Structure 1
Amino acid sequence: MDELTSVFIQEGREQLQAMEDGLLQLEQQPDNHDNINSIFRAAHTVKGASGVIECHFIEAFTHKAENVLDRLRNGEIQVSSELTGLLLRCCDHLGRLMDVLEAGQAEPPAEVSAAGNTLLEELSAYMVTPEPSAGGMVEAESEVETSGGGVVNTDSWHISVRFGPHMLRGGMDPLSFLRYLTSLGEILALETIPDALPAADEMDPEACYLGFEIRLQTRATKADIERVFDFCRDDCELRILPPNSKLTEYLKLIQELPEDEMRLGEMLVRCGALTQHELDDGLSSQQSGTSDEPTSPIGEILIEQKVVQKEVVEAAASKQTRVQEKKAVEARSIRVQADKLDQLIDLVGELVIAGASANLLAQRSGQGELVESTSILSRLVENIRDAALQLRMVQIGETFTRFNRVVRDVSKELGKEIDLVISGAETELDKSVVEKIGDPLMHLVRNSMDHGIEAGDAREAAGKSRRGRVELNAYHDSGSIVIEVVDDGRGLPRDKILQKAIDKGLVQPTQTLTDQEIINLIWEPGFSTVEQVTNLSGRGVGMDVVRRNIQSLRGSCEVSSVEGQGCTFTIRLPLTLAIIDGFLVGVGKASYVIPLDMVIECIELNGQSNDRNFLNLRGEVLPFVRLREMFEIEDEYPARENIVVVQFAGQKAGIVVDQLHGEFQTVIKPLSGIFRHLRGIGGSTILGTGEVSLILDVQSLVQRNNRREERDMNSSLAAPRQGA
């Protein structure tokens, strides 16, 4: 694929996304003309660019869609749910056509072409113009130029013409031009101006002294009217002033001009407010001044010559300024392929490891100057690391906005009224995480809509608003990003979940479970409380896959629910999967890394029995886990042990270690697939000595402590009953 085509596909998809976003807003705001114009511009851009690369199957289809959008923005057709749905399907089809182009195929496959032909047939229904009645042309003209049902004579073109003295000598009849004007429309008023007539004894019978002030009602453009006087343009003074109704149209056309750098005069000509001849005259006047005089702006000259209104010039100047500012912003940014960024991150990771090795050797050498030099190098490497990682950080809002289309289509299919509310769209995280979180979010959102949100009648009967609500929230917390999927539906039915779990043999009928344990049963493989699985979702069907995909990103997914009020899924993810700040600890001869963002403090473990798994931390019970026991390290217990206090999702826990080595830049190396079932290990890294250190999965360690605490509590409660 050549570079031009690659750029078109990338930018074309962005235009299609902008078009889709605008169409989704269109149903909510049908009178927002700025939005309609932006939709049209997006389609127009795709059509023009596809013509440049000579991709005719995209150009032809987009042209038909553009025609319908043009009628929409001109008010010839009205916004409707059916039209919006059709245009959204056209966006989808254009996306498939771009897939065909990206695959290097000369023409779309038969099934794609057939789908496109079906859409074209539906589009053609919106291009049908009613048959004009008798005098239909006059009615069409007066439709634009009328108010209150009658012709407004003042709302017409005003033509001021002063014929030059050599008109008659050249064989031209001024009246013939006036008669030709009637072919464009209706002359409402005509006034002869005899100001140039000299005294009778000075009059030349072969000279022309006539001038006219004309009011013409027509749908022709300014250029069309000027062309009437082409043969005498150099021998007359001509001014054409548009009707008042045209002023708004010119302003609208200026706003719809492409986002290209154009001179002010060119913009006025493009929108029809100025003819090329008028612009040339204005430029000649601008250049005719002496070199000592400051040059007047072309806009002021055109206004002084009364060939264009001041409001139109100001609108064009404002548009020109906005385009220049936008181009200046775009000039400061460049597009970089994702694989190049990945390669940069890998190299920075190797630089971090090499820097750690150099720093360690410097410390061992005991040379003060070398230690100082390597410390400066370490600081610079850290800055390079942060800057490189920032390049891959993207806002999650782009992922969130895709769900506007999902919510619209699914709510239509289900016959429900559902609003999507997005907050925290500006929250940033690593691009690799964003790419992989889309599918799990899609499953959760569709579940909430299908089985969480009730039908409108059921919601009203429950005292709720008829319109359901699904929220997507994102925010940062303790070095992680938290994404919430919230609905105000019926919530999870605990009794039904428990009974289904008993029927499937997941729990025993005599087993006592907390509410949260019952809710967590939805994560079991194949678990569902739905009697009939729909093509959209089933609360629990595939939920184990959702959790597994999130855990593969070193994240977690929890659910909370209140029956009758709604359900909340909370996803926690690391900000990046590449390089993190770590806290290096040691147990025996082994070393481990704890993500620094989760470390709260370090304390000494004094006088604690080896069989106790909790301590009193300033009045707070702190459960802890001994890495020595967890990983079965057989070395003797050291004289002193330390506890690293960590926090995850608002829950604290302690990790008992032997040595505290301090902060450490950690390049995360994924473990092989044979270690995927390990609990408590999130990856590995390479130390400056070349040794491998394991990165602890704080999330699973905290959850392990919580489960142990619950088991100990249940055992202590059950012991008296057994003794009795």
Structure 2
Amino acid sequence: MNMDAALQTFFSESRELLEQMESLLLQLETLDEASRQESLHGIFRAAHTIKGSAGMFGLDYVVSFTHAVESVLDRLRNRQLSVSDALVSLLLQCRDHIAQLVDSAEAGNHDSTIVKAGQPLLAALQSYLVAGAAAETKAPALPVSEPPPFERLDSDDIASSECWHISIRFGRHCFRDGMDPLSFITYLKHLGDVVSITPLAEFLPPASEFDSESCYLAFGIQLASSASKQEIEDVFEFVREDSILHIIPPRSRLQEFVDLIEAMPQVDQLLGQILVTSGALTANELQRALQLQQQRSSSHQPLGEIISSTNAGIQPVLQAALDKQGKVRDTLVKEQKSLRVDAEKLDKLINLVGELVTAGAGTSLLADNLGDSALNESVSVLNSLLEAVRDAALELRMIPIGATFSRFQRVVRDIAHELDKEIELVINGAETELDKSVIEKIGDPLTHLVRNAIDHGIESPAVRAAAGKAEKGTIILNAYHDSGNIVIEVSDDGKGLDPELIRAKAIEKQLVDESAVLSREEILNLILEPGFSTAEKVSNLSGRGVGMDVVKRNIAELRGRVEIISQIGQGSTMRIILPLTLAIIDGFVIGVADEQFVVPLDAVLECLELKQQPDNPFDAPYFNLRGQVLPLIYLRHCLGVEGRYPARQNVVVVQSGGISAGLVVDCLLGEFQTVIKPLGKLFSKVGCISGSTILGNGSVALILDIHGLINTMTESEPQLLQ
């Protein structure tokens, strides 16, 4: 085995497990008991896997620290410790320290100072272990209220019977509660035929201990019925809590349960869920088995064994459920397997596909010029395959933004605690996919925006209560696609931005002249200027006038922009709009004079002919689009293209950010698979152009930035959009 490769795999998998630990820890306090136990098992497994793998490579300092964390987690999942805010915070710090130890191991410079930094954490963990052990020692041992076994029928006898076998031991206080045990047995006749009733005398006490007011009745009943197990159990509903009831299905019903389990969809479920869903086990029986498992937590007895011991007759169904569970989980494991590919190799593949697309466009143009129908058909098939290869290659670089969003759960929790604020983070659009390179670069800007929302946006609980708001604030992270762009929003329901305060601060810092006339949008955008801050005092979170200008610069480097929407007292939304930044996109080629341009196809709504009419001559600022005013952008004028007007012009209706406009062009040249080539730094400030591409004939065409064009129109003719 190549140990170096195996060690790198350990580092990579450890980081994934640590991210999983953090995500599960952040959810612990908000989960119900059943879900919390599942999460604790997941956290424990992650820590245990890291410890075991670290031991294989001799990383004893990782093993030692992780073992202490594992011990506390083991007490948590066995309910010997309770989940608290302080304990979750400690475990999050421990998770961070394990990450530092793994990073140190990967760097190859085992630093004793990092190990020493974990000593306070180990001491804190030890206090929980000692406290848990003391509580366990002081607490009296709880008697296991497991009932003595019922009438022991041979499992073969039960399986061969076509009757339901019911074992019922009535509660000791049944008579005192005014219940008549025989009335329940009589009622069974409404569900079917009572074949036999056998009294179970072994539960009668000695005559000297007999109490005339206590009930010692217990029966074994054979019932021939087509009713379900739940319906039979419901007969004893009024005495079920104090009585001990077992219901064993007939042979034919066992096979029916097995068939139902095998027909279940391929969804990962807990063993108890499978048995209850199939009808082989009732909800009450499952609850009782879970209680017994909890009482036997020290022995870690599997739930299946407990169910089997208390319901011997459903052994075939239990085995079928276990087999079903195993098959589903094996399938999921296979589906979750992934192949790690070096990023450089992936980029090389994307570049080669891009060149292939360009070559394919040239071949299509040559085939059209030759006019050979057979060749054209062959090229058409080739282009279809090229498009499929292109899409498949690009999907390799696309990853959901949800993982990036989830990291802010920890940021919000820690900073909110530091500022004594109550804040909930809501994530929408986690499935929205972005290019991996964009995901990597968007993290820092989002961190600045989230921290600002916590520090500046969300008020303290007292202030919120005085304003009639809920004491707990809300920050929303949202992502979605819009007209070929990716939109990421950071919203809060805080105090909002005050334009007057922002203007006053900007004048004070000499960012604008006092006599300047600015729109509301321009005033809000002043917070993106270097050196601007409205914080009254400097803290470790804000007040130094850096941050938002960094956000603006980083987003600009991604060819994106930042929009600010805010209402005083209601909150703010910071909207980041980014191009898809894919290497290859579907484009629509248009012509103006002798120049050709490409419009992202996602932004195109429709194409129309621009007719010259007395009330709408060429160069008119608008177009009547089915009764709606459509502002026009003349690319000839906007981009300074010289040349004669054609006899007929066309309008390409485009949309960006919810605003529609018409691009006036000379000709429409059709769809084209566009390989984006970035512009040099010389053209980085050109607002109307987002890139370039090489057409099939070898000429270069510029890719238009639709939002930039619409902004240009808005600045020059704002009344058209009112």
Same fold at TM > 0.5: yes
2:655 counterpart of 1:650 = no
Aligned to 2:385: 380
SS of the equivalent of 2:69 reads helix
Match for 1:53 among 46, 54, 57? 57
- 1:440 maps to 445
Q: Paired residue for 1:329?
A: 332
Q: Amino acid of the residue matched to residue 499 of structure 2?
A: R
Q: How does 1:261-660 map to 2 (within 5 A)?
A: 271=300, 318=321, 321-332=324-335, 333-339=337-343, 340-537=345-542, 541-607=546-612, 612-660=620-668
Counterpart AA for 2:81: I
Q: Is the 8 A contact 1:520 1:559 kept in 2?
A: yes
Instruction: State the AA in 1 paired with 2:573.
Output: T
> 1:646 corresponds to which letter in structure 2?
V
Q: What amino acid is aligned across from residue 542 of structure 1 in structure 2?
A: G
Q: 1:678 aligns with which of 659, 683, 686?
A: 686
TM-score calculated relative to the size of structure 1:
0.73
Change (3 A) 1:484 1:586: same
Post-superposition offset of 1:46 = 1.5
- Is the 8 Å Cα contact of residues 247 and 312 (structure 1) preserved in structure 2? no
Which amino acid letter does the alignment assign opposite residue 125 of structure 1? S
**Offset, 1:444:** 1.0
Q: Secondary structure at the match of 1:143?
A: coil
Q: Work out the CA distance in 2 between the residues paired with 1:386 and 1:130.
A: 56
In structure 2, how many angstroms separate the alpha carbons of the residues matched to 1:582 and 1:537?
43
The answer to whether the aligner puts 1:36 opposite 2:44 as a matched pair is no
Distance change >3 Å, CA 82–CA 590, structure 1 → 2: same
Which structure has the larger Rg over C-alpha atoms?
A: 1
- Please say if residues 491 and 566 of structure 1, whose CA atoms lie closer than 8 Å, have aligned partners that are also in contact: yes
User: CA 1:697/1:669 → structure 2, altered by over 3 Å: closer, same or farther?
Assistant: same
In structure 2, distance between residues paired with 1:536 and 1:463: 27
Amino acid at match of 2:651: I
> Within the alignment, does 1:697 sit opposite 2:702 as a pair?
no
Paired position in structure 2 for 1:119: 121
Aligned to 1:172: none
- Mapped partners of 1:391, 1:676: distance in 2: 28
CA displacement 1:339-378 (0-9 Å, x = unmatched): 2332222221111111101111111111111111111111
Aligned to 2:25: 23
Question: Are the equivalent residues in 2 in contact too, given 1:522–1:540 (CA < 8 A)?
Answer: no
How much does 1:461 deviate? 0.5
Residue 73 of structure 2: aligned partner? 69
- Pairwise CA distance, 1:514: 3.0
In 1, the alpha carbon distance for the partners of 2:142 and 2:42 equals 24
1:215 aligns to what? none
* Equivalent position of 1:103 in the other structure: 107
What's the CA shift for 1:687? 1.1
- How far apart are the structure 2 equivalents of 1:709 and 1:83? 60
Q: Is the 8 A contact 1:581 1:663 kept in 2?
A: yes
Note the C-alpha offset of 1:689: 1.4
8 Å CA contact retained: 1:254, 1:315 = no
Relative to structure 1, the CA distance from residue 131 to residue 710 in structure 2 (aligned partners, 3 Å threshold; closer, same or farther) is closer
**CA deviation after TM superposition for structure 1 residue 682, in Å:** 0.6
CA distance in 2, matches of 1:665, 1:439: 33
Residues 61 and 649 of structure 1, relative CA distance in 2, 3 Å threshold: same
Residue type matched to 1:705 in 2?
M
Of 428-437 and 531-540, more deviation after overlay is shown by 531-540
- More off after superposition, 388-397 vs 600-609: 600-609
Deviations along 1:679-719, whole A, 9 cap, x unmatched?
A: 211111111112221111111111111111138999xxxxx
Aligned-CA RMSD value: 3.5
Q: Is the 8 A contact 2:475 2:492 kept in 1?
A: yes
Report Cα offsets for 1:563-603 as digits up to 9, x if no partner. 00111122223344221100111223322111010011223
Aligned 8 A contact 1:684 1:692 in 2: yes
CA distance in 2, matches of 1:589, 1:51: 69
User: Larger deviation: 46-55 or 554-563?
Assistant: 46-55
Once residues 635 and 28 of structure 1 are traced to their aligned partners in structure 2, the CA distance between those partners, rounded to angstroms, is: 67
Q: Is the 8 A contact 1:480 1:574 kept in 2?
A: yes
Query: 1:586 touches 1:658 (CA, 8 Å); kept in 2?
Result: yes
Q: Write out aligned runs for 1:208-223 (5 A).
A: none
Alignment match, 1:128: 130
Q: 1:310 to 1:444 in 2, by over 3 A?
A: farther
Report the 3-state secondary structure (helix = DSSP H, G, I; strand = E; otherwise coil) of the residue aligned with 1:536: coil
In 1, Cα distance between equivalents of 2:134 and 2:531: 63
Instruction: Show structure 1 runs of 5+ residues with no match.
Output: 147-151, 161-243, 257-269, 275-297, 715-724
Q: Is the 8 A contact 2:293 2:301 kept in 1?
A: no
Contact persistence 1:250–1:273 (CA under 8 A): no
Please tell me the residue identity of whatever aligns with 2:703: I
In the TM superposition, 1:193-204 aligns within 5 A as none
Letter in 1 for 2:421: K
Mapped contact 1:481–1:574 kept (Cα < 8 A): yes
Aligned-partner SS, 2:605: strand
SS in 2 for 1:491: coil
Q: Deviations over 1:616-659 (max 9, x none)?
A: 43443333333333333333333333232211011112223222
1:57-80 deviations in whole A, cap 9, x for unaligned? Answer: 222211111011112222222222
Verify the 8 A CA contact 2:101 2:115 in the aligned structure 1: no
Distance 1:273 1:387, change over 3 A: closer
Q: Go from structure 1 to structure 2 and tell me whether the alpha carbon gap of 1:102 and 1:713 turns closer, same or farther (over 3 Å shift).
A: closer
What secondary structure sits across from 1:128 in the alignment? Answer: helix
- Quote the residue 1:710 is aligned against: 718
The AA in structure 1 aligned to 2:701 is S
* Partner Cα separation in structure 2 for residue 663 and residue 392 of structure 1: 24
One-letter amino acid of the counterpart of residue 632, structure 1: G
What's the CA shift for 1:508? 3.8
* Cα distance change, pair 330–667 in 1 and its aligned pair in 2 (3 A): farther
The answer to whether the 8 A contact 2:78-2:297 is kept is no
CA contact (8 A) 1:599 1:647 kept: yes
User: 2:479·2:486 contact (CA, 8 Å) conserved in 1?
Assistant: yes
Equivalent residue in structure 1 for 2:676, among 639, 646, 668: 668
Residue by residue, what CA displacement relative to the aligned partner does 1:254-278 show, whole Å, maximum 9, x if unpaired? 999xxxxxxxxxxxxx95579xxxx
SS at match of 1:678: coil
Superposed CA deviations along residues 147-176 of structure 1, whole A, max 9, x for unmatched, are xxxxx6x67999x9xxxxxxxxxxxxxxxx
The AA in structure 2 aligned to 1:50 is A
Calculate percent identity across the aligned residue pairs.
Answer: 49
Q: CA deviation at 1:457?
A: 0.5
In structure 1, how many angstroms separate the alpha carbons of the residues matched to 2:544 and 2:634?
38
Give 2:95's match in structure 1, choosing from 68, 87, 91: 91
| Secondary structure of the structure 2 residue equivalent to 1:425 | coil
Task: Using the TM superposition, give the Cα deviation of residue 299 of structure 1 relative to its aligned residue in structure 2, in angstroms.
Answer: 8.9
